[in-house]
A and B are shown apart, each in its own frame.
Chain A
Amino acid sequence: MRAFVVAVAMAVVLAVAASFVLGESQRFAYQAFATSGARVSNPGTNLVGPRWTGDIKEPGAGHKADAPGS
């Protein structure tokens, strides 16, 4: 039983570690697809937000797009 518990715990630890390591190789869309000739919107001013969650407040709260009609 102890081997099973340790195995499950180790699997979770390794999975979490993998998530951090793999996350390091990821870039946000506005970083990956922007050049000096093409700009893919500033963080916080697009419709989906920098994390593609719909939350446009982070991290570019100061650049937040104006609300429609304002």
Chain B
Amino acid sequence: MRRRLTHIAHMTLLAAALAVAAPALAQVRAPDGAPDPTASSVNEDLLFRQAPKIGGRISIPNQTAANLIQPQGREWRSFHESWMPWIGALAVLGMLGALGVFYFTRGRIRLEHSEESGRKILRFNAFERFAHWMTATCFIVLALTGLNYIFGKRLLMPLIGPDAFAALAQWGKYAHVYLAWPFMLGVLFMLVLWIKDNIPGKIDWIWLKQGGGFLGDAHPSAARFNAGQKMVFWMVVGFGLLMSATGLMMLFPFAATDINGMQVMQVVHSLIGVVFIAGILAHIYIGTLGMEGAYDAMGSGEVDLAWARAHHDLWVEKEQAKTASGPQLGRGQVPAE
């Protein structure tokens, strides 16, 4: 019995000693050696490790306002503010530089005269030119106002001041949001108008292997559109649809995705956007400065027959065969006896 009491006394003493010593052992000290009583409290890093985002409870109908902090937003902001301007500058200035080098080394692709020079052939009818120019003018405004999102505050605001920049950016935002609609319609028009002439074929591979006539003086055969034009077509359709889808996700916030999804959409939209702009710069170059006679196709709609024969020989043969067989009969019409 006495031995049992002694054991209990020892255990009690040990427990008391531990109770006194434990706080001292657990005490975390600051770098300067002073006790830091808040070291083990919940901090931001710990919170973010527990949940992907931190929200609260609110009584207003807009439940998305309950989201207080979303750490992925910091990654998006970091991309938008540090990576995106460099990627955008590299894409746009890189393409301008490449086109400059091409122009000064290869020079302008000149119109080759032949006995067919001076005769005209209709390349694009009025509705095709309308669809092209509606899409093109909208694209230019969308591109400039889109680039303003990335570069405006960095390049424009120091030049014109914050007040003028704020007004410009606001009107730019209106233009971007509203001109997106005729742009989307124009992409659909062009898809329907030209898809039949833009199906890739064996002839496109031959055209590409011969450098498309850009690297030498030869003119590889091509139908209505050559492989380069087909690439532009599919770029416009593909990027146009992707830009439309991602843009609509941002235009109607939370309709299809959450804040994280919209940030992903913005990243996709901006990355495709700068590549799209670079691609269209090349298209503008070759359609104007780069190739003599090319602009007429979308300007007046008629091109020089010698130019058409050189660059789209198969298409010219097909068009002339149609004309040679006489005017096409409409539905219900019968040839005269």
Contacts and interface: CB of A to CB of B under 8 A. Distances in A.
Given A3-B129, A10-B130, A38 B178 contact: no
**Interface SS, B side:** helix
Contacts, number: 66
B330 interface: no
A11 interface: yes
Interface string B136-165: 111000000000000000000000000000
Interface string A6-42: 1110110011111100100000000011110110100
**SS of A interface (majority):** helix
Contacts of A3: 126, 129-130, 133, 301
B231 interface: no
A11 B179 contact: yes
The CB with the most chain A CB atoms within 10 A, among B126, B132, B138, B299, is that of: B138
Nearest to B132: A7
Contact of A7 (B62, B130, B180): B130
A19 B133 contact: no
Interface residues of B, number: 29
B287 to A, nearest CB: 14
Contacts of A33: 60-62, 65
Interface residues of A, number: 23
B182 interface: yes
Contacts of A32: 61-62
A11 B60 contact: no
Interface of B: 59-62, 65, 126, 129-134, 136-138, 174-175, 177-183, 185, 251, 299-301
